[in-house]
Amino acid sequence: MSTLHTVNKSPFATGSLQSCLSHAKDGDAILMFEDGVYGATKGTTLADAVAAKGGSVTLYVLQGDADARGIAAARLIEGVTPVDYVGFVRLAADHDRTHAWL
């Protein structure tokens, strides 16, 4: 029984990513998309917390949103996996529920 969490806001504008990180359970997945992809980048004040969470949950970004914002693969936090829209749908189908952190 696991959850796909989605975050679509920049972690510098809202606390959604932070709240998501502190409520996600081991074995869950977090997908960052739209402005949420900024949370998946290296060197931010949140990067350590995101990377640490990567040990117990799997982290994804929506490739198109990262590309659109000029975020190259090299700038993604270690362990973050880019997915396309089909991958997004597959993640939703593979988990028991989806929790959208608005």
Partner 1 sequence: MDEKIKKFLYVNRKAPYGTIYALEALEVVLIGAAFDQDVSLAFLDDGVFQLVKNQKTDGIGVKNFSPTFRALGDYDVTKLFVEQESLDERGLTADDLQDIIYEDEDDDWAEKPSIRIVSRAEMADVMADQDVVLSF
- Strands (E) located in the chain: 3-7, 29-32, 58-62, 80-83, 97-101
C-beta of 97: minimal distance to partner 1 in Å?
5
Residue 15 is a binding residue for partner 1 (CB under 8 A): yes
Contact assessment for residue 40 and residue 32, using Cβ atoms and an 8 Å cutoff = yes
Q: Identify the residue among 16, 53, 61, 63 touching partner 1 (CB under 8 A).
A: 16
Identify which range of 21-29, 39-47, 66-74, 84-92 contacts partner 1 by CB under 8 A. Answer: 21-29
Identify which range of 44-52, 57-65, 83-91, 94-102 contacts partner 1 by CB under 8 A. Answer: 94-102
Q: Judging by beta carbons within 10 Å of its beta carbon (0-12, 13-18, 19+), is residue 1 exposed, middle or buried?
A: exposed
Rounded to an integer, what distance in angstroms lies between the CA atom of residue 6 and that of residue 70? 21
Residue 98 is a binding residue for partner 1 (CB under 8 A): yes
Rounded to an integer, what distance in angstroms lies between the CA atom of residue 57 and that of residue 18? 14
C-beta of 7: minimal distance to partner 1 in Å?
11
Which residues sit at the interface with partner 1, rule CB under 8 A?
A: 1, 3, 15-16, 19, 22-25, 96-102
